[in-house]
Amino acid sequence: MERKNIDWGSLGFGYVQTDYRYVSNYKDGAWDAGCLTDQATVTMSECACVLQYAQTCFEGMKAYTTQDGRIVCFRPDLNAKRMADSCRRLKMPVFPEDRFVEAVVETVRANAAWVPPFGSGASLYIRPFMFGSDAIIGVKPATEFQFRVFATPVGPYFKGGIKPLTVRISDFDRAAPRGTGHVKAGLNYAMSLYAIVDAHEQGYDENVYLDSATRTYIEETGGANIVFVKGNTLVTPKSSTILPSITRRSLVQVAKDYLGMEVEEREIPLTEIGEFTECGLCGTAAVISPVGKIVDHGKETVYAGFGPTIQKLYDTLTGIQMGRIPAPEGWIQVIE
């Protein structure tokens, strides 16, 4: 397979149209057989449920080339399961989990020429998503849906070195108790756009959201979970309104089983953040982005950035992903 002639190292995080995507349509109560297509646009009714009432959810994951030249992706079964959970909460039909994984594998295989080489730091970002596609004007779920998977090459996250993030405690809320914060719904992002643009205008990289019921506990940022380090313990918020990050769940296991750390998944009061030495944001995009500073209305809490523990967590998980360190059973899906 001849790779595309791209300067992988200078790619950013933006959409690049690749050759193939997977599409399956749901109608009359059933998913069709699904197929790969080169059609990168979607045509639908102006009254489609997704356009009027935002009935849509998505997933995000990466494929990459390992040291020994295989193309793999990381724990796609967990993305399949999480998307099924999102669909159930949003009254969308579940795309069967085994078919989800198969669709991801097919999409990556068809776009193998777009998978960046080992060592470039770049990867192929995979975006599975689903939306209600038929015309709905009275408020109710759609009856027809489309499931798609596209892939787009993205550059190294830490381009030009690692700059620890400066984040602020947000005055906006992200998720209501018993709402949809725990599912990967587009609507959670639509309402976060105002807050993120405002944060950037004020000079912050991200918003850290508090629990909206009491505004006293740390939850997560707009698109990443949060972890803290205290001594030999990794501490991460436990809440029914945060999105269950696959990266965070993997880091928890790495901390316990590879690094011999203690792990606490519990409520983290805002008043405790000064007791931690390191802080990181975790998600597919960066694995862990070190936080250098949390600013709460002028009050600054400073962390070690890429401190020793965040560094070890990062090195171990990326080592597992790249095939340098043996992976737990089932973590690496080999594509070819």
Ligand X SMILES: *Cc1c(COP(=O)(O)O)cnc(C)c1O
**Chain residues that interact with ligand X, rule: CB under 6 A:** 60, 184, 220, 223-225, 243, 245-248, 283-284
Pairing of strands 145-154, 21-27: antiparallel
CA torsion through residues 91, 48, 26, 59, sign: negative
CB of 252 to ligand X, least distance (A): 11
CA 326 to chain centre: 23
* Total number of residues shown for the chain: 336
CB of 192 to ligand X, least distance (A): 8
Distances (CA, A) of 196 to 174, 229, 279: 11, 26, 20
Break the chain down into helix, strand, coil percent, rounded to 5.
25, 30, 45
Catalytic residue among 4, 140, 159, 184: 184
CB of 289 to ligand X, least distance (A): 11
In the annotation, is 159 catalytic?
Answer: no
Residue 17: CB atoms within 10 Å = 11
CB of 25 to ligand X, least distance (A): 25
CA dihedral (9, 15, 19, 20) in degrees, to 10, reads 120
186 phi and psi angles, rounded to 5 deg? -55, -35
Q: Is residue 118 within 8 Å of residue 65, measured between CB atoms? A: yes
For 86-111, the DSSP string reads HHHHTT-PPPPHHHHHHHHHHHHHHT
CB of 283 to ligand X, least distance (A): 3
CA distance 204 to 193: 14
Which residue's CB is nearer to ligand X, number 149 or number 246?
Answer: 246
Residues with catalytic roles: 184
